[in-house]
Amino acid sequence: MQERFPAPEFESPSGSVFPPPAGRRVYCNRNLRLDQVKAVGFDMDYTLAIYRQAEMDRQSIEATVGKLVDRGYPEELRSMKYRTDFPIRGLLIDRKLGNVLKMDRYRYVKTAYHGFRKLAREERRSAYHTRRLRPGTGRYHWVDTLYSLSEVAVYAAVIDHIDTHGGEVDYGQLFSDIRECTDISHQDGTILDSVLADLPRYVERDPELGILLHKLRSAGKRLFLLTNSGPEYTDAMMSYLLDEALEEYPSWRNYFDYICTASQKPGFFMGKEAFAAVGNGRETRELERGRVYSGGNITDLQRSLGYSGDEVLYVGDHIYGDVLRAKKESTWRTAMIIQEMDDELRVLREHAVSFERSASLEHMHAALQDQLREQQALLKRVERKLAEQGVGAEKASWEAKRVLHRRSIDRLRAQLKELEAERLELDEALDQAFHPFWGSLFKAGSEVSSFGNQVEQYAGIYTSRATNLIQYSPMHYFQSPRHRMPHESGNTPGA
Ligand SMILES: [Mg+2]
């Protein structure tokens, strides 16, 4: 949303404008002083390595579908159309009914699809609004990584195909099969080998990455890489991203103090598994600079770093594995990379006028409803009086009042109807601008979405790509704008 009182802009000594433009800004949920951060860790996939989502989805869908057909699913799955623009992060799969859901922060299902058919309000209500929804149970599956979007694309397409062409399927079994086939495609190299064979097709090389890491190192911060990807894949990917980026760093390994691969997050934050040196397989509790390790645990990493807790900032993209677990199991500060923000911010910018109109319609709606309730109460009073009155001038006067109140009520109702129609049309158009099926990633109607809620709760800061940090001094103090409670707004002296 637009800031009501935009912060003043000023030019930094280097000539860049501060604050940076919206798409390059780092947003802050919880105050964070970068000068107090002594070590910065980075996840790799979708954090330093920016995957081209549509290409990744296409590759993943092809591999998954191939394996489904091998398992006995019909051959026609191969020639079906899959919509990679259907899924977003933060959706919930209902394995029992075969639906895909989007919830708000209170677990209220705001939007639901069966295949590509949107559930009508009544259908949605009877399935999800009569009993408390329990996302943690086996019936539901939370879509929380960009990797798993392709699974949703396949699930919805197959269900849609069955609905249109007839046939039967166990929705739960279908989802388990899709998940397994995608997992196997990742493990057996079907997907990763294709990525490595043509990195520029799948991964965007950010020219500022080397500069960012150098800037942080120059400010005296220790850097580490902490990824779940295996050592060979990590080496190939990081070489592509960083080798020859800066003359001072001939190898990508030179940027990092410690390199931890195959780390099995979120287990890494809770377990005690020793690090194993890649190459000789020797187990160790003390890390050496320049070596690549696999496995490991947070305690040994912190000891080697010489820093722990809130002196460490971890930058990742996965809400559960990187951000939520790091936050719950340690006091590491967290930065979340949300690449979808580019699109969200573009819509907010391009439709700023419509968002303002929508907000003012909401205020007007509330004010008109108050007036309507008031007129209805007055009418009731008049009608009571009329029932008590006999005949004569007094009765005529009450009758005149009744006519007036009724007119007001009719007028207010007509205004409300008009206003509601405009608001509905406007909100629908704004939802469409965000996403044709689900609207905004961060919002569900006028509420925060369950995904947005998790970002607010667990990500100290968040931004669309890691290199946006380059816009800020390594001493920067990120301050959360949410330092006021609702009752303070407008009630503070001078406000
Ligand atoms: Mg990742």
Q: How far is the CA of 262 from the centre of ligand 1 (A)?
A: 12
pLDDT along the chain (495 residues), means of 10: 47 63 93 96 97 95 96 93 95 97 95 97 94 91 93 97 90 97 93 95 96 97 97 97 93 97 92 93 92 95 95 91 73 94 95 94 96 96 86 84 96 97 94 96 92 92 97 94 73 52
Question: Which residues have CB less than 5 Å away from ligand 1 (the ion)?
Answer: 43, 45-46, 317
pLDDT of amino acid 12:
53
How much is the pTM? 0.88
At 154, which helix (H) or strand (E)?
helix 149-165
Q: According to the model, what pLDDT value does residue 494 have?
A: 46
Output the CA 260–ligand 1 centroid distance in Å: 13
Can you say whether the dihedral through the CA atoms of 235, 248, 33, 470 is positive or negative?
A: negative
372 CA distance to ligand 1 middle (Å): 52
- In the prediction, which pLDDT does 167 show? 85
pLDDT at res. 419: 96
Q: Any idea of the CA torsion for 221, 42, 15, 30, to the nearest 10 degrees? A: -90
Closest CA to 63 of 172, 192, 162: 192
pLDDT at site 4: 44
CA of 241 to the centre of ligand 1 (A): 15
- pLDDT number for residue 396: 87
Q: What is the pLDDT of residue 493?
A: 55
Å from CA of 336 to ligand 1 middle: 10
Q: Are strands 312-316 and 39-42 parallel, antiparallel or unpaired?
A: parallel
pLDDT tens by residue, 141-185: 999 999 999 999 999 999 999 999 888 899 999 999 999 999 999
Cβ(56)–Cβ(63) below 8 Å: no
Task: Name the residue with tokens 């979708």.
Answer: 46
What's the CA-to-centroid distance between 319 and ligand 1, angstroms? Answer: 9
Which amino acid is located at 383 in the chain? Answer: E
- Give the CA count within 13 Å in the CB-facing half-sphere of 33: 4
C-beta atoms surrounding 150 within 10 Å:
27
Helices (H) and strands (E) in the chain, counts: 14, 23
Residue 7: CB atoms within 10 Å? 9
SS3 for 162-202 is: HHHHCCCCCHHHHHHHHHHHHHHHHHCCHHHHHHHHCHHHH
Token couple for 5: 């009182």
Listed in sequence order, the residues at least 6 apart from 86 whose beta carbon sits closer than 8 Å to its beta carbon are: 116, 152, 153, 156, 157, 437
Residue 2, pLDDT score: 40
Instruction: Identify the CA nearest to 144 among candidates 336, 329, 312, 295.
Output: 336
pLDDT digits (tens, 9 = 90+) for 77-92: 999 999 999 999 999 9
Give the pLDDT of residue 82: 96
* pLDDT value at residue 451: 95
Q: How far is the CA of 147 from the centre of ligand 1 (A)?
A: 9
Q: How many whole angstroms from 474 Cα to the centroid of ligand 1?
A: 23
Structure tokens at 104: 């708000």
pLDDT at 3: 42
358, with CB counted inside 10 A (0-12, 13-18, 19+), is middle
- Neighbour count for residue 459 (Cβ, 10 Å): 25
Q: How far is the CA of 69 from the centre of ligand 1 (A)?
A: 29
Cα(46) to centroid(ligand 1), Å = 5
CA distance 356 to 359: 5
Query: Rounded to whole angstroms, how far apart are CA atoms 253 and 342?
Result: 30
Long-range pairs for 412-421 at CB < 8 Å and ≥24 separation? 412/368, 412/371, 412/372, 412/375, 413/372, 415/368, 416/365, 416/368, 416/369, 416/372, 419/361, 419/364, 419/365, 419/368, 420/365
Pull the structure tokens for residue 94.
């209902």
Question: What is the distance in A from the centroid of ligand 1 to the CA of 24?
Answer: 20
| Residue 224, C-beta contacts closer than 8 angstroms, at least 6 positions apart | 39, 40, 41, 42, 256, 257, 258, 259, 260, 301, 305
